[in-house]
């Protein structure tokens, strides 16, 4: 009887196992959907999300040894508003395989997997000694929960620099999370001394975070949180580390700015000071909270606990910084991606709290431990239900949606949050539509004014303009479209292809006055409007 009481009621043990199996199956199914989605995008040769083709052109320029930061007021009216590291990482693939959109999509997808692994590593460290099985289980579920997030799913396989930034952030926080200031006054000693190992962890963590900042500017919140943590732990040496990191990052920035004759600063800093919409910001916060309620609640409780104990952790500071950085989602052109870092931090805090609770007392199997484990499994299952997304046709999706009572969707994709532009897989009709647009571009004489560069790469045409950077620079008073409008008025562009009408209003007005609508083609549920030179 004593052994039976120690192990807890049999029904509770069965319930715990069943809940963990259900949570594991649900999260692995979400991973399957994610991989399937990524595979479909890797095979699709045209822009899936607006602007991917221009990210590819940034990469092509880097592969040629050229900077994409230039005066966008002269032909071809092009500049980039993102740092270079993601494109530099993708450049070797472009040099080998040519300008293909799958190259950057593959880099971004792999970055999301590495970020999930780093999240699992950070969670695993919170498990108590002697409980490796439970700790590994919670760590795995935490990493899978990140990949199952609606935002990770939609953005992960795109030719975008955002997921590479998140990967470097997770790697940097993971490295610093294993770091501790050594005792004594010095760091030097024998090669295997703990002091030297800590110094290497510190250097590696700061290097990852600098890499995150040179992938996308949004990483500055994570960098600030990490440096604040170092200073709080040891003010003198923390300040020294912060100054060293700032000097390295500032030196790299100054060098690139000098190489680009000042256009790096204009494109990276000034062009990103956009108009702000407060209701848009609150809308994104509300959506993120509703989709990640379990993770966020666990993270908030962890941070409150740290505050009451008076010992803020690196992970808690990271979460708060990422949460504050989400306010930038109110900028014109911002989106859900601004909350991916906050989701990663929430996964770490929730997972660490769950691992600590489950493994407290080692391998104890009493009813309190069983009840705690059942609760953790149920929370993972609830969180997966909040962000559940799936396709509704083909095997095994038709069978899964039939069991869950989900009706077939018009675009063959169900998302718990409702309608979303990203997520449905491109199909054969989309491929045909893209080829139709490419054929029209190939038949046009001279350069083509296209809002998406993927068509131009496929047609062998030069890349002209970069609409969204052009628009925000125009709004900031950094772009004068006079030369571009003059070319439009001379009808020097053989064709104009528009989808989102992101160009400045004077440019769109000039197109409307000098070009006539020819036809519209639907691809990926978007209408592409083709305009030919007018009489």
Residue 134 reports pLDDT greater than 90: no
On the question of pLDDT at 520 being above 90, the answer is yes
Domain total in the chain: 3
Structural contact between residues 387 and 148, judged by C-beta atoms closer than 8 angstroms: yes
Statement to judge: residues 9 and 124 lie in one domain: yes
Separate counts of helices (H) and strands (E) for the chain: 23, 6
Q: Are residues 104 and 17 in the same domain?
A: yes
**% of the chain beyond a pLDDT of 90:** 79
Does a structural domain hold residue 61? no
Q: Which of 271-275, 291-295, 396-400, 483-487 has the lowest mean pLDDT?
A: 271-275
- Report the pLDDT value the prediction gives residue 188, as an integer from 0 to 100: 43
Burial (CB count <10 Å: 0-12, 13-18, 19+), residue 251: exposed
Q: Closest Cα to residue 158, out of 218, 212, 90, 70?
A: 90
pLDDT at 339 over 50: yes
Reading the block at residue 270, the tokens are 């000034």
pLDDT tens per residue, range 39-83: 999 999 999 999 999 999 999 999 999 999 999 999 999 999 999
User: How much is the pLDDT for 361?
Assistant: 53
147 and 282 part of one domain: yes
Task: For residues 407 and 501, state if they share a domain.
Answer: no
> Which domain-ending residue is among 387, 403, 438?
387
Mean of the pLDDT values across residues 146-167? 97
Q: Compute the distance between CA of residue 107 and CA of residue 70 in angstroms, rounded to an integer.
A: 26
Q: Is residue 64 part of a domain?
A: no
Q: What is the pLDDT of residue 194?
A: 61
- With 70 as the cut, is the pLDDT of residue 183 above it? no
List the one residue out of 140, 148, 135, 147 whose CA is nearest residue 120. Answer: 140
pLDDT of residue 186: 45
Residues 373 and 461 in one domain: no
Query: Does residue 72 have a cis peptide bond before it, meaning omega lies within 30 degrees of 0?
Result: no
Answer with the residue of higher pLDDT: 198 or 201: 201
pLDDT score recorded for residue 274: 82
- On average, the pLDDT of the chain sits at 91
The whole-angstrom separation of Cα 250 and Cα 290 is 38
pLDDT average, residue stretch 206-226: 97
Q: Are residues 474 and 418 in the same domain?
A: no
Answer yes or no: pTM beyond 0.85: yes
Reported as type and span, the H/E element at residue 498 is strand 495-498
Q: Same domain for 437 and 458?
A: yes
Shared domain check, 261 and 161: yes
Q: What is the pLDDT of residues 78-112, one digit of tens each?
A: 999 999 999 999 999 999 999 999 999 999 999 99
Q: 414 and 293, same structural domain?
A: no
Question: Is the residue at 400 inside a domain?
Answer: yes
Asked whether the bond before 396 is cis by omega within 30 degrees of 0, the reply is yes
Give the range among 248-257, 306-315, 439-448 with minimum mean pLDDT. 306-315
In a domain, 93, yes or no: no
Confidence at 198, pLDDT banded by 50, 70, 90: confident
250 and 352 assigned to the same domain: yes
Say if residue 239 is in the same domain as residue 183. Answer: yes
- Is residue 83 domain-resident? no
Q: Is residue 76 part of a domain?
A: no
Flag whether 62 is in a domain. no
Residue 209 contacts residue 259 (beta carbons within 8 Å): no
pLDDT at 335: 87
Q: Coil, strand or helix: which one is 516?
A: strand
Q: Are residues 152 and 293 in the same domain?
A: yes
Q: C-alpha angle 291/292/296, rounded to 5°?
A: 150
Mean pLDDT, rounded, for 185-205? 66
Higher pLDDT, 453 or 368: 453
CA dist., res. 157 & res. 151, Å (int):
11
347 assigned to some structural domain: yes
What distance in Å separates the CA atoms of residue 522 and residue 520, rounded to the nearest whole number? 7
Is the pLDDT assigned to residue 4 strictly greater than 50? no
Cis peptide before 278 (omega within 30 of 0): no
| Mean pLDDT, residues 205-226 taken together | 97
Using the predicted structure, report yes or no on whether residue 7 has a pLDDT greater than 80: no
**Tally of CB atoms within 10 A around 466:** 27
Tell me: pLDDT of 8 over 90.
no
The alpha carbon dihedral of 335, 108, 410, 499 has a sign of positive
Range of the structural domain that residue 409 is part of: 388-425
């Amino acid at each position: 009887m004593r052994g039976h009481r120690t192990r807890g009621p049999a029904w509770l043990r069965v319930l715990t196992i069943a809940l963990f199996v259900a949570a594991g199956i649900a999260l692995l199914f979400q991973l399957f959907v994610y991989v399937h989605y990524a595979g479909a995008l890797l095979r699709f040769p045209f822009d899936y999300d607006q602007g991917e083709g221009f990210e590819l052109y940034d990469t092509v320029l880097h592969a040629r040894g050229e900077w994409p930061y230039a005066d966008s007021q002269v032909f071809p009216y092009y500049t980039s508003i993102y740092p270079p590291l993601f494109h530099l990482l993708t450049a070797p693939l472009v040099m080998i395989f040519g300008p293909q959109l799958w190259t950057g999509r593959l880099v971004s997808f792999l970055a999301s997997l590495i970020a999930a692994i780093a999240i699992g590593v950070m969670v695993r460290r919170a498990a108590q000694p002697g409980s490796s099985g439970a700790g590994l289980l919670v760590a795995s579920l935490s990493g899978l929960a990140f990949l199952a997030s609606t935002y990770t799913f939609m953005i992960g396989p795109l030719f975008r620099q955002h997921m590479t930034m998140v990967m470097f952030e997770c790697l940097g926080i993971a490295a610093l999370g294993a770091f501790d200031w050594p005792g004594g006054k010095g760091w030097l000693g024998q090669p295997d001394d703990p002091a030297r190992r800590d110094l290497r962890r510190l250097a590696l963590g700061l290097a990852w975070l600098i890499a995150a900042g040179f992938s996308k500017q949004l990483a500055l919140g994570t960098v600030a949180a990490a440096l604040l943590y170092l200073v709080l732990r040891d003010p003198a040496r923390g300040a020294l580390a912060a100054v060293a990191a700032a000097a390295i990052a500032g030196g790299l920035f100054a060098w690139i700015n000098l190489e680009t004759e000042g256009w790096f600063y204009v494109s990276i800093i000034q062009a990103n000071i956009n108009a702000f919409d407060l209701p848009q910001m609150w809308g994104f916060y509300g959506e993120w909270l509703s989709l990640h309620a379990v993770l966020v609640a666990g993270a908030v409780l962890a941070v409150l606990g740290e505050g009451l104990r008076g010992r803020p952790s690196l992970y808690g500071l990271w979460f708060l910084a990422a949460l504050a950085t989400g306010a930038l989602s109110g900028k014109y052109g911002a989106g859900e991606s601004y909350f991916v870092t906050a989701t990663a931090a929430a996964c770490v805090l929730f997972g660490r709290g769950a691992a600590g609770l489950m493994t407290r007392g080692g391998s104890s199997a009493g009813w309190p431990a069983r009840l705690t484990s059942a609760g953790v499994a149920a929370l993972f299952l609830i969180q997966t239900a909040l962000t559940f997304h799936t396709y509704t046709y083909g095997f095994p999706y038709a069978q899964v949606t039939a069991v869950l009572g989900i009706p077939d969707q018009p675009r063959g994709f169900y998302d718990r949050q409702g309608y979303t532009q990203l997520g449905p897989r491109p199909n054969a009709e989309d491929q045909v539509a893209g080829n139709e647009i490419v054929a029209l571009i190939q038949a046009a004489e001279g350069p083509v004014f296209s809002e998406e560069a993927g068509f131009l790469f496929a047609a062998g045409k030069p890349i002209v303009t970069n609409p969204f950077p052009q628009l925000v620079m125009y709004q900031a008073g950094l772009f004068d479209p006079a030369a571009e409008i003059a070319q439009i008025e001379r009808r020097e562009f053989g064709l104009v292809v528009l989808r989102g009408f992101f160009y400045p209003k004077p440019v769109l007005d000039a197109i409307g006055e000098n070009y006539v609508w020819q036809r519209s083609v639907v691809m990926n549920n978007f209408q592409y409007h083709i305009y030919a030179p007018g009489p």
